[in-house]
Chains A and B, each alone.
Chain A
Amino acid sequence: MTARRELLLEARPESLAEIREFVLAAGQDVGMTAEAVRDLVLAADEIAANIVEHGYGSAQGGPIRVAFEVTGEEVRVAIEDEADCFDVATVSDPDLESDWQERQIGGLGWFLVRNLVDEIRHRPRTPVGNVYELIKRAR
């Protein structure tokens, strides 16, 4: 059975809580475990926050579309924007072994996303923007 629901909103910091609530409710409704849905909520927040902070640059926001879909044992959250294309592969992991003085502030968001979901897919969106897909298997 496939169930799909969508949320469309502006890329503003105030939208992040709404995105979290959307993914939380959807995940609970399809019977994900509490931990699995929390992981997915955080991963979605990180992607959306990146769009809010970097995606639209100096422009005053732009659209974010969040879609939640289940196919079999695969839960998929797709997050779309209309911002400049962002290559996820260019973000390197933070150094987890460094001590507090050397620890860098950056890179944490993507690191969390990679470690909270089973798969991340990214593709450019036509005519402009990005589609990020977060995949979590076996709820």
Chain B
Amino acid sequence: MDVSVDRSRNIVVLRVSGSLDALTAGELSDRFSALIDGGEARLVADLAGLDYTSSAGLRTLLGALKQARGAGGDLRLAAVQGPVKKVLDLSGFSGIMKLFSDVESAIDSYSE
């Protein structure tokens, strides 16, 4: 699992690729927390390269969502792939998070 961080128009974009499971989800949780604790709570997760998540990844996303919204920001998801989308739908997460087909749309949504 790899995470790279970029900033665009004051929005932090985390590109997450590979697989999220009980081994790797903690690293992503730490990256989210560090950003939000540092005052950057308007986040987009670019999931184009994420081909797998288990419930460990869902817990990471939910934890970051709560923390970001609690800090006045949000965590929005972009380019969610089929297998990950299925898990988000099944768990009801796609009903409580905002999903976008691409990163630009997700970034734009913060301006609306």
Chain B nearest CB from A101 CB (Å) reads 7
A49 within 8 Å of B (CB atoms): yes
Q: Mark the stretch among A58-66, A79-87, A102-110 that contacts chain B.
A: A102-110
**Please, what's the 1-or-0 string for B70-97, where 1 marks a CB less than 8 Å from any CB in chain A?**
0000000000000100010011100111
A16: which B residues are within 8 A, CB to CB? 21-23, 54
Q: How far is the CA of A46 from the CA of B59 in the complex (A)?
A: 13
B22 x A13 contact (CB < 8 A):
yes
A46 x B63 contact (CB < 8 A):
no
B52: which A residues are within 8 A, CB to CB? 20, 42
Q: How far is the CA of A112 from the CA of B97 in the complex (A)?
A: 18
B19, B54, B91, B95 — most chain A CB neighbours (10 Å): B54
Chain B nearest CB from A98 CB (Å) reads 8
A52 within 8 Å of B (CB atoms): yes
B11 within 8 Å of A (CB atoms): no
A17 x B91 contact (CB < 8 A):
no
A1 within 8 Å of B (CB atoms): no
A38: which B residues are within 8 A, CB to CB? 83
A99: which B residues are within 8 A, CB to CB? 96
B21: which A residues are within 8 A, CB to CB? 13, 16-17, 20, 45, 49
Q: How far is the CA of A112 from the CA of B87 in the complex (A)?
A: 8
A100 x B56 contact (CB < 8 A):
no
A105 x B56 contact (CB < 8 A):
no
Q: How far is the CA of A96 from the CA of B56 in the complex (A)?
A: 17
Which listed residue (A96, A108, A116) contacts B59, Cβ 8 A? A108
A111 x B22 contact (CB < 8 A):
no
A109 x B83 contact (CB < 8 A):
no
**Please, what's the 1-or-0 string for B49-74, where 1 marks a CB less than 8 Å from any CB in chain A?**
00010111011001101100100000
A100 and B66 in contact, given A52-B22, A108-B59, A111-B91 (Cβ under 8 angstroms): yes
Residues of B that sit less than 8 Å from A by CB: 19, 21-23, 52, 54-56, 58-59, 62-63, 65-66, 69, 83, 87, 90-92, 95-97
Residues of A that sit less than 8 Å from B by CB: 13-14, 16-17, 20, 38, 42, 45-46, 49, 52-53, 94, 96-97, 99-101, 103, 105, 108-109, 111-112, 115-116
